[in-house]
Amino acid sequence: EKKATVQNASMASGGANVTGTRSTRSLAHRFSLCRRHARTFPAKKKKLMFTTRGDLRARSAQEGDKVSRSIQTRLVHMTDKLDDPFDSVAPPIYQTATFNQPGATDFGPYDYSRSGNPTRTLLENQMADIENADGAFAFASGMAAIATVMRLVKPGESVLAGNDIYGGTQRFLGKIAPNKQGLHVRHVDMTKVDEVRAALEEGAAEGNAPVKLVLIESPTNPRLEVCDIAAISAVAKEHGAVVCVDNSIMAPIFQRPIDLGADISMTSATKFIAGHSDVTGGILSVVGKDLCDEIYFHQNAEGNMMSPFECWLALRGLKTMALRMEKQAENAARIAAFLEAHPMVKRVNYAGLASHPNSALHASQASSGGSIISFETGSVEASRRIVEDTKLFKITVSFGSVTSLISMPCYMSHASVPAEIRRERGLVDDLVRISAGIESIEDLIGDLEQAFAGAEKAVAAGAQ
């Protein structure tokens, strides 16, 4: 009874001069704060302000100065802003499954987070803006995004993909697409536009399965081959095929496939977008209202979207993505030069090296060599020792983290690709892949030097 009297007195006085117990004072104080803050909210519900899918380009054209802003600035200053009464610098996270509706027969802008969430809308609209797309869609993983793209192809139709592609994509194309979806899958050397054209023409012949989707990686994972995105996109459109580019290695900082003619740009948010190895996600940036509508339909119907919390982490990651990627690419260029000069290395794959067979093509469609390198030693044992003897490089799948990463793809990220197919495509077991982080380049090269030295001694001792 005494506590209740103190609490009621506190409420009446606005929380001042509370003399009750600590727990009572705290409760009364919190109640008072809630009452004061509540008065700052508008009396009537206001809809959250967000951009409708497909309106980004039209709106950007009307905004004048924003069009000329660099991508670095656009990453920090979002295109869209929620109608937040507190105007927080960091966007709020809407960690909710459902939203209260205006009435029993009326819907607000959001009803269920599978169908849409304000935090996800912010991420999707910002990605669409920096990719120059009409819409973007955030998924639970890069493979969830790829799987959704595969829904664009109907049973009996064909998918055309490259020979050197991510292991998860290869697993989907090799086992799920033909066996579960009834699709025809064909692989060609995507570095040769003539092979792409021939495959498209063959599919267009009477009685054959028409190619409806062309999947491109450039640079490829893990051999860093470079494909002519603009030329392939042009040929594909002549034959009515949708072009999707897995742009995870370059991200929109260094390469924008939609500007090169692609219909869809897929970026793994797990990599450079989030950038800290603490998120899994994938983004599809899409051109054309019909294609946007179809992608959204599958995202909503199948429920493979990115969660609000991971969207929020990805939004935070976007702000520093340019800084991180520029430092990572700078480190990678130095590491590639070190590897190219080392006597134990037989081959270096890095799009930024002048010795890369398609370096000029890459420079014409991307602004940097990126931060992914792969190399061969000619010896599985030597490669294994190098990988295991490094101290600063984490032995892990994936790439794009602030931490430098190292792996042997044939035993990790591409282990699902059958050995005979790997051999057929030139994917050798001794291949080592490095994802350069943001550490001191002197420390990274010093670490590689000691790892190579140890591997050289071990291999020499084993040969005796």
Q: What is the DSSP string of 2-40?
A: HHHHHHHHHHHTTTTT--S-HHHHHHHHHHHHHHHHHTT
Q: Which of 129, 134, 246, 263 is catalytic?
A: 246
Judge residue 23's burial from the number of C-beta atoms within 10 Å of its C-beta, 0-12 exposed, 13-18 middle, 19 or more buried.
exposed
Q: Is position 114 annotated as part of the catalytic site?
A: yes
User: Taken in order 105, 108, 113, 116, is the CA torsion positive or negative?
Assistant: positive
Q: Which of 53, 197, 271, 385 is catalytic?
A: 271
Which helix (H) or strand (E) is 242 found in, with range? Answer: strand 242-246
Which helix (H) or strand (E) is 138 found in, with range? Answer: strand 135-139
List residues bridging with 282 in a β-sheet: 139, 268
Q: Which of 110, 166, 296, 350 is catalytic?
A: 166
Residue 57: what are its φ and ψ, rounded to 5°?
Answer: -65, -45
User: Which residue type is seen at 151?
Assistant: R
Q: Is position 246 annotated as part of the catalytic site?
A: yes
Distance from C-alpha of 338 to C-alpha of 449, rounded to nearest angstrom: 9
Distance from C-alpha of 407 to C-alpha of 433, rounded to nearest angstrom: 5
Q: Is position 259 annotated as part of the catalytic site?
A: no
Contact 372, 412 (CB under 8 A): no
Q: Is position 271 annotated as part of the catalytic site?
A: yes
Catalytic machinery residues? 114, 166, 246, 271
